[in-house]
Amino acid sequence: MDSWSPEAALAAAQPPASLSQLALTALPPRNIGSRPAFAVEFSVSCKTCNHAVFLISGFPKIAPDPSPYYGLPPGKTFWRPPHNLKCLNCGSVAKLFDARTDGYDGICNGGCSYESGTDGETFVPGSFKVTVTPVYNIELSEIIESAAAFGVQTPDLFDSFVIHGDPVGGGKRFETHYECA
Ligand SMILES: [Zn+2]
């Protein structure tokens, strides 16, 4: 039977505080080969109205030529954090991810290495069913120690974070992956 690692099981029971503006449902664990799952995928719904179709915001930037970004060709748009979700049904806006404050580097090291946007926030084309996946590769004993030192809960210290948007009514999938440690 598939199961979670101890770190992921904690997060499934108590999701990261950075996601507290969203209603989350943990999806069943899927083992990685014979290893227990060390990530928890949550499906997201609106805390206000419980609907589950969103607009995803970000700060678009077009990669220059030559592109300094790995895997991103010149001329292609990428979506810088922070990201918010806007409920298509009721219009509520909820925080999704901020690289400057969330996860291990956000909490313990003053932010992760991603460029964040400050003006020009707009929405990714399309509307989406969204899942978010905090990932825990760090040993439980180590994150318990850091969590105590920084006064946070252990699930807050994810070391990477995946956002996945499944387009509703056609369009392109949205997927982005942040290293946070
Ligand atoms: Zn809503």
Domain range for 149: 6-179
Q: How far does the centroid of ligand 1 lie from the alpha carbon of residue 92, in Å?
A: 5
Per the domain annotation, does 119 fall within a domain? yes
Res 113 pLDDT > 90:
no
- Rounded CA gap, 21 and 59, in Å? 20
Question: Would you say residue 32 lies in a domain?
Answer: yes
Question: Does residue 17 surpass a pLDDT of 90?
Answer: yes
pTM here is 0.94
Domain count, the chain: 1
| pLDDT (0 to 100) of residue 146 | 96
- Say if 69 falls within a structural domain: yes
Residue 1 has pLDDT above 80, yes or no: no
Ligand 1 centroid from CA 147, angstroms: 32
pLDDT for the residue numbered 175: 94
Please indicate, yes or no, if residue 1 is contained in any of the structural domains: no
The torsion region of residue 151 among left (phi > 0), alpha (psi -120 to 50) and beta comes to left
> Average pLDDT over the chain, rounded to whole?
95
Q: Output the pLDDT for position 122.
A: 97
**Residue 53 Cα to ligand 1 middle (Å):** 8
- The amino acid occupying position 70 is Y
Determine the residue type at 146.
Answer: S
Q: 20 lies in a domain?
A: yes
Cβ distance 88 to 55 under 8 Å? Answer: yes
- Reply yes or no on whether the pLDDT at 44 is more than 80: yes
pLDDT in tens, 50-106: 999 999 999 999 999 998 888 889 999 999 999 999 999 999 999 999 999 999 999
